[in-house]
Amino acid sequence: MTDLVLSESLTAARRRLEAALADAGRPAGDAALLAVSKTKPAAMIREAHRLGQRDFGENYVQEALDKQAELADLGDIVWHFIGPLQSNKTRDVAEHFAWVHSLDREKIARRLNDQRSEDLPALNVCLQVNISGEASKSGVSLDELPTLAEAVLGMPRLRLRGLMAIPAPAETLVEQRRPFARLREALEALNARFPEAHLDTLSMGMSGDLEAAVVEGATLVRLGTAIFGERQRFH
């Protein structure tokens, strides 16, 4: 992808998000764009950064660390870890990211909490919820969500921000909205149960279902393909 194409696709993605917010009757700027750069080269992240993008999402720890090293001169990138997280990678994530969206187990939370340096701000975390049942193996169930949330709220080096989901693909806007509505209701229920937590983040919506997510209250949409183009490499 050339720089020109990236500037066009990033502009188009920003317009698409603002149009979705307007259609949903929400204020401009009410949801932020997370650029999902997995499998894409550091040069593309640098170009997106030059165009004003600051939040980037990565799925694979080693790939992310390599790109972070290449981009170390850009001091103000906010790195989000959004992929499945294994125990043996928690230290790298605790040390090199500002956010984790894919937290779904207490054991992983404890490790991140123990490994997050006192020199860094608390690690922002979203709990990944398995909102479409059998569609995905990742994510905590709605039943187990309050217990996990309570545990994470007790961890001082983690700052619980909200919920994330990757629903099963659906064709129509109506079908796409259903799981996002469930995630919004789950966040509302947590805020009612833990009012001091002030959970403010719904990480939901990707290139194929951004509009449905925005109608249901997404505050952070995770766009990969729409910004960087199709991915060639699969892990």
Ligand X SMILES: *Cc1c(COP(=O)(O)O)cnc(C)c1O
For ligand X, the closer of residues 60 and 194 by Cβ is 60
Q: Using CB under 6 A, which residues numbered 72 to 91 contact ligand X? A: 82
CB of 129 to ligand X, least distance (A): 13
Give the integer Cα–Cα distance in Å for 215 and 197: 24
Q: Do residues 69 and 100 touch, judged by C-beta distance below 8 A?
A: no
CB of 192 to ligand X, least distance (A): 27
- Find the binder of ligand X among 9, 17, 24, 38 (CB under 6 A): 38
- Find the binder of ligand X among 9, 37, 53, 59 (CB under 6 A): 59
Cβ neighbour number for residue 233 with a 10 Å cutoff: 8
Q: Do residues 58 and 67 touch, judged by C-beta distance below 8 A?
A: yes
Which x/- pattern, by CB under 6 A, does the window 89-128 give for ligand X?
----------------------------------------
For ligand X, the closer of residues 152 and 165 by Cβ is 165
CB of 218 to ligand X, least distance (A): 12
Q: Which helix (H) or strand (E) holds 58?
A: strand 55-58
For ligand X, the closer of residues 34 and 191 by Cβ is 34
- Find the binder of ligand X among 84, 146, 208, 229 (CB under 6 A): 208
Alpha helices in the chain (DSSP H): 3-23, 42-50, 61-70, 90-96, 106-115, 145-153, 173-193, 210-215, 225-228
* 208 Cβ neighbours under 8 A, 6+ residues apart: 169
- Look at phi and psi of residue 31 and say left if phi exceeds 0, alpha if psi is from -120 to 50, else beta: beta
- Find the binder of ligand X among 61, 85, 112, 166 (CB under 6 A): 166
- Binding-site size, ligand X (CB under 6 A): 13
Q: Do residues 216 and 198 touch, judged by C-beta distance below 8 A?
A: no
Closest residue to ligand X in the complex (CB): 224
CB of 128 to ligand X, least distance (A): 8
- Find the binder of ligand X among 17, 206, 214, 220 (CB under 6 A): 206
Which residue's structure tokens are 């909490």?
113
For ligand X, the closer of residues 136 and 191 by Cβ is 136
SS3 99: strand
Chain residues that interact with ligand X, rule: CB under 6 A = 36, 38, 59, 82, 166, 206-208, 222-226
